[in-house]
């Protein structure tokens, strides 16, 4: 049976979904694999693996350029992904869907194309304290080149955005607000609709990093009205090396290309080059063809389960874990905002996060330990890092119980 069809069982049937993921057939140190690092990169269902393998076995060729059947078939499959993405995020047109290597490249594309051609010395960009490094460093590079000003909106002790402080930073000098939709480090869901409206009121554009939102929340670009939105395929049960930049068509039309090469041109001579139409103007070179086809399959897969059901399932697991953690008097949760995703970020007294991660690993439990590419967020809470458990569609209450047992072992070792 097709994996996407298996996943439509009602009520939510974690065992059937988990069976779609071949990686869970193995054991770690003789114990069932408990994978709680989906926020870093999600595991892949068999249907995604099969779709990519099938391309290589039956219809691989370079796309957009061949008049022969293999090339036309591969092109048709690849371009079908663009429509799937458009529908998944409810964009107005496939011309607004730019394929990238991931969200990081999407942000860099906006910084180097829109930012370099639009911003001037003294213009201001607002970020939040809990941004991933990918949504900090590109703007710092632009700041050093152009002399723009970066301002940072704070979060409170729970990790929620201080919206009044954010609004106080806005002015006629604000040209861009670049913020995360859901924090990868502490799980906070920012009020992006309110952020977009407030930014637009002062004439600023908005870029949203949706890496942690796309796998858990229903997205609607036309309702949200963000100017740019990025996410990565590998966090939504698709392959690595492929991602999406959504941009409003008028903005993309006005932006210069970021990279030059094949497919992004209309004509080339040594005297002059003209650019291809959207979206190809921003897609230089041979793309990750199999990755694009795998992304389509992944989006179809999670859509068949239902984003609302996924969110509810993950929040149920989060609530269970938080309840069981009350038995520990030496664990502090970092990030307890009223609206958050299924991410459990914690510190334990007298035990470094890396030690927590190492001991849990020997129990078959995979969590992330460190600063999660969000050092300013860690600095805000005056910690070097956290141990982070993040839930996905294949996790269940037995996984939560395994995590808690592992933490008890950590406590027994470190006292």
Catalytic residues: 373
- Cβ neighbours for 135, distance < 8 A, ≥ 6 positions apart: 107, 127, 178, 179, 180, 207, 209
Does residue 279 have a cis bond before it (omega within 30 degrees)? yes
Dihedral sign for Cα 83, 85, 87, 91, please: negative
DSSP string across 178-246: EEESB-TTT-BBP-HHHHHHHHHHTT-EEEEE-TTTTTTS---HHHH--SEEEEEGGGGTS-SS-EEEE
Task: Report the alpha-carbon distance of residue 215 to residue 210 in Å, rounded.
Answer: 9
CB 400 within 8 A of CB 324: yes
Residues 6 or more apart from 89 whose CB is under 8 A from it?
A: 214, 219, 220, 221, 229, 244, 246
Structure tokens at 299: 């989006």
Q: Residues 126, 131, 133, 138: what is their CA dihedral angle, to the nearest 10 degrees?
A: -20
Residue 311 contacts residue 217 (beta carbons within 8 Å): yes
Residues near 144 by beta carbon (within 8 Å), at least 6 away in sequence: none
CA 282-204-372 angle, to 5 degrees, is 70
Assess contact for 4 and 296: CB atoms under 8 A: no
Cα within 13 Å of Cα(82), Cβ side:
19
Neighbours of 195 (CB within 10 A): 25
CA dihedral 134, 387, 343, 85 (to 10 degrees): 40
For 62, phi then psi, to 5°, come to -65, 150
Minimal CA–CA distance to 293: which of 83, 23, 69? 83
Question: What's the chain's Rg over C-alpha atoms?
Answer: 22
């Amino acid at each position: 049976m097709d994996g996407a069809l298996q996943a439509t069982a009602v009520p939510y049937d974690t065992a059937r979904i988990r069976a779609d993921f071949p990686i869970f057939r193995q054991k770690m140190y003789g114990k069932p694999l408990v994978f709680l690092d989906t926020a870093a990169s999600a595991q892949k269902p068999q249907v995604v693996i099969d779709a990519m393998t099938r391309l290589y076995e039956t219809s691989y060729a370079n796309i957009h350029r061949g008049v022969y059947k293999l090339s036309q078939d591969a092109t048709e499959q690849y371009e079908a992904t663009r429509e799937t993405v458009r529908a998944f995020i409810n964009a107005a047109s496939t011309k607004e869907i730019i394929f990238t290597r991931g969200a990081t490249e999407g942000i860099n594309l906006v910084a180097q194309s829109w930012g370099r051609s639009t911003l001037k010395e003294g213009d201001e960009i607002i970020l939040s304290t809990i941004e991933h490094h990918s949504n900090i460093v590109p703007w710092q590079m632009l700041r050093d080149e152009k002399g723009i000003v970066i301002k940072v909106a704070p979060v409170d002790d729970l990790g929620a955005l201080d919206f009044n402080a954010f609004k106080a930073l806005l002015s006629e000098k604000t040209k861009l607000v670049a913020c995360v939709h859901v924090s990868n480090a502490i799980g906070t869901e920012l009020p992006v609709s309110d952020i977009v409206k407030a930014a637009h009121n002062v004439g600023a554009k908005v870029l949203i990093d949706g890496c942690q939102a796309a796998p858990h929340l229903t997205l609607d670009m036309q309702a949200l009205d963000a100017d740019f939105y990025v996410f990565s395929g590998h966090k939504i049960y698709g392959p690595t090396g492929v991602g999406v930049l959504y941009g409003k068509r008028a903005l993309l039309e006005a932006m210069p290309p970021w990279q030059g090469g094949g497919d992004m041109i209309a004509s080339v001579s040594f005297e002059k080059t003209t650019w291809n139409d959207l979206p190809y103007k921003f897609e230089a070179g041979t793309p990750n063809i199999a990755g694009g086809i795998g992304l389509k399959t992944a989006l179809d897969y999670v859509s068949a389960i239902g984003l609302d059901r996924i969110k509810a399932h993950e929040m149920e697991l989060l609530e269970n874990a938080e309840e069981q953690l009350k038995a520990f008097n030496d664990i502090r949760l970092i990030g307890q905002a009223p609206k958050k995703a299924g991410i459990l970020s914690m510190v334990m007294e007298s035990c470094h996060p890396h030690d927590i991660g190492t001991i849990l690993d020997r129990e078959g439990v995979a969590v992330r330990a460190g600063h999660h590419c969000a050092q300013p967020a860690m600095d805000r809470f005056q910690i070097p890092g956290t141990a982070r458990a993040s839930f996905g569609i294949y996790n269940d209450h037995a996984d939560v119980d395994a995590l808690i047992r592992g933490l008890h072992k950590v406590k027994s070792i470190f006292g």
